A and B are shown apart, each in its own frame.
Chain A
């Protein structure tokens, strides 16, 4: 039987944990520490209770037009009313001024400290269909026949966007009122948070005293602003010593600034950490972490400068080229990653360096593929609905260090010179970053704001890739190329090589799947994209290893299909 594609399961009881913890030789089941592989930087840890990075309950604070609510298990309390919005809406729809009267009443009562609550909620609750729910009586069963939302938040969460909702309200002195409106959305078409949210609103109910709890977490399952390790704060002037680029314990006991803290290791850090009580008493001495490094001075973000593009058409050309660059560099990175020797049986340091480098290059390659999707999402958001065609052509050349300069895409082994080239590609302010800087400047000038943020995210991750390649340069630079490369010469598979042909066929199928997924977009396209992802980490990865094991480079041929053909720089 062929091996299963990887699946992830959450173990419940001790016997299940034991199965993951003690894999046998040639393990088919392994324990995975930390977050699932699907975690993205923007998927901060949130839950339905005061959470770590985001309190998801706050997403539904404005589920009903012109009202802002607080949601608890069995109550929905109105805490704000946009009376002006309700009046303007009534006017725009030609309704009499009295149509906004209920909102004025509620607004006045709330201002005077008199509360209004949702007593009953009528609407379309997703798969449960149309229901009227008594908010105070919500509870089990939430599974099986006759199931109901178990609490108010889930009930609101289940309301189908855009469908009609009726609120049966109770106010002071048991005053009753019913309001009708359409269920609001919290994401826009591009998956960004809708503009109804105010800064700070999603984090306003977080639970900050958890800081000391994090001390004992051993699995990186916490908010990015509570790391267990970080790069140490840099003194001035910045020392030219690579040890300042090694991670240290964030909650370390020794808070001295200016001397190099003890590096973090895989061993139990607790002897060198502040104790719980110390953290409670001196939490303010824990440094902010930006870009993985602790900072001890006010943070100033990188100034991105780029010349805005002249037209919407030019912007589209740049975006299509940017997508092509993502695909091209992903191919180069994959070729380099597969050129590394398998670490098994090699001396420990060499094996560790190869293992880390391979993992990091693969992570970056996967990051580029996520960027590819992000750029496609931006294009979809930019274009007139119905006119979007996915950007899946591969760049023939990637941007160089100077404006207008390019270099051809060349698959090759991960030699020192190759890694230097990769560092240059990812270097902030130039190369690919320079292309995105112009796209960003255009969105900053013309909007929309949500797309601007998507581009910022891609650029921020590019910085992370740049730093990762610097680390890879350091790790591999400790060894001779012949020690860590399968072959120091770039040998492409011979013409007609069956494994190479299989790889090309699978790659083509994968692009077709992505094309379908991107075309459908949103959740409709998700199954195709997921299939493509499984294909990539399953059969394509296996075929690539088969080629590499025979000493050949893993290369991707130019495709003649116009959807996936080469694209030149604009």
Chain B
């Protein structure tokens, strides 16, 4: 990791710990570095009583140790992942589409050319850290509208990567309706991470994700992705469902998507939309209830020895186990950029055309602008977030959605994380095999 380019100090009055209890007993989340401990009852009571000595203890436990980065730091990593907006068109007409079907409200009216794509790949490879994988993602619009370009870029990136000794990986986000057998071969051959946008069973999918010329899309999705789900080869295929306020029956949506053959299903609430179907401040408790209800049944399945298919839960548990703790919610503007059809580098694929997210182009990054962007997006710079106990787990949430942040939305995040903390402790007790990575010769306790 390069030396930090700036520091954004935290708020001295922000909470250092979060207390919670599970069927496994009393626990403590130490907010900096997301350390989780079991507490004996007497200490738990002292934490609950706001004993100042316990704040002192939490501070000691939250101190940075070797191998950890300062949470105040504004890092400036080398870009390691790019998404290429290879298509400015889509065959579906989802009303809530943030990308305006790929045109980004006119900011991207033409499809990307091979020359622009090659320049972007070259630029990425020049500065990337060769000891870590480099990822190229394909977005749109619907990327497979421009499948010839995808093939071209994959070939180009593979060859250039091999010359430079890079581990190049690929990902794509698709609606899956246009997939052909030769596309599936490409995906398998290059071990793509494939994210399929599918919102539920036929009724929901057809209503939320209609075909451009009319009619539904559910059957086409099933036809397109079915063979890959049946024979994924080296690909990893996951479903991503957008949830609108019109239908919060997540269990039914989940079951329908699982029925298609997906083993990984994640939900994303629609936070802002021109269609008026975004989750509002009053909807968040209902959405949380729906997600928790589904997550509980997934947790019960996991306790019984099964895998977790709800990726929201699976990812959260994995991150809690590692103790993920970051001042940024994603790599936007840091290790990740999205390249528009014109070769402009944006901090995020959702911000194509937004001037304040445009941090450079294929000829290089605007260092000063990037620095400002990163410093401004640090969680310590977010007024509401810097004093929240969940600040290093949520990290302020999607930059693009920051404007739609509300008390209800934040309560939802905290409610969800609290559930995940409890689920983590209970699952760790009953299925330690679910969480690899704890050394068998671990200390049985630590003394503070």
Contacts and interface: CB of A to CB of B under 8 A. Distances in A.
A10 B38 contact: yes
A192 interface: no
Given A6-B448, A20-B446, A12 B38 contact: yes
Judged by DSSP, the binding face of A is loop
B420 to A, nearest CB: 12
Contacts of B445: 8-11, 32, 36
A13 B427 CA distance: 12
B36 A16 contact: yes
A10 B27 CA distance: 9
A22 interface: yes
A23 B35 contact: no
Contacts of B33: 15, 18-19
Contacts of A29: 60-61, 63, 446-448
B323 interface: yes
B212 interface: no
B425 interface: yes
Nearest to A5: B53
Interface stretch (A123-131, A138-146, A466-474): A138-146
Given A13-B320, A18-B67, A18-B68, A35 B56 contact: no
Interface residues on A, range: 35 or more
Contacts of B43: 7, 9
A142 B57 contact: no
Nearest to B39: A9
A16 B35 CA distance: 4
A13 B447 contact: no
Nearest to B34: A15
Contacts of B437: 14
Interface in A150-200: 150
Nearest to A34: B444
Interface string A208-241: 0000000011110100000000000000000000
A6 to B, nearest CB: 6
B266 to A, nearest CB: 22
Given A8-B447, A12-B428, A32-B444, A142 B23 contact: yes
Interface in B392-441: 424-425, 428, 437-441
B444 A219 contact: yes
Contact of A12 (B27, B40, B53, B440): B27
Interface string A48-70: 00000000000000000000000
Nearest to B25: A143
A282 interface: no
A272 interface: no
B446 A30 contact: yes
Nearest to A17: B442
B214 interface: no
Contacts of A8: 40, 445-448
Nearest to A140: B23
Interface string B306-324: 0000000000000011110
B39 to A, nearest CB: 7
Select the residue from B22, B425, B442 with max chain A CB neighbours within 10 A: B442
B79 to A, nearest CB: 27
B35 A15 contact: yes
B166 interface: no
B447 A22 contact: no
A366 to B, nearest CB: 16
B38 A218 contact: no
Pick the 8 closest A-B CB pairs, nearest first.
Answer: A15-B323, A218-B441, A20-B446, A16-B35, A31-B443, A10-B38, A12-B36, A9-B37
Given A4-B56, A219-B443, 12 more contacts: A7-B43, A7-B447, A9-B37, A9-B38, A9-B446, A10-B446, A11-B446, A12-B424, A13-B320, A16-B36, A19-B446, A23-B65
Interface of A: 1, 4, 6-24, 28-36, 140-143, 150, 216-219, 221
6 contacts: A1-B56, A9-B446, A13-B321, A15-B34, A34-B444, A143-B21
Interface of B: 21-23, 27-28, 30, 33-40, 43, 52-53, 56-57, 60-61, 63, 65-68, 320-323, 325, 424-425, 428, 437-448
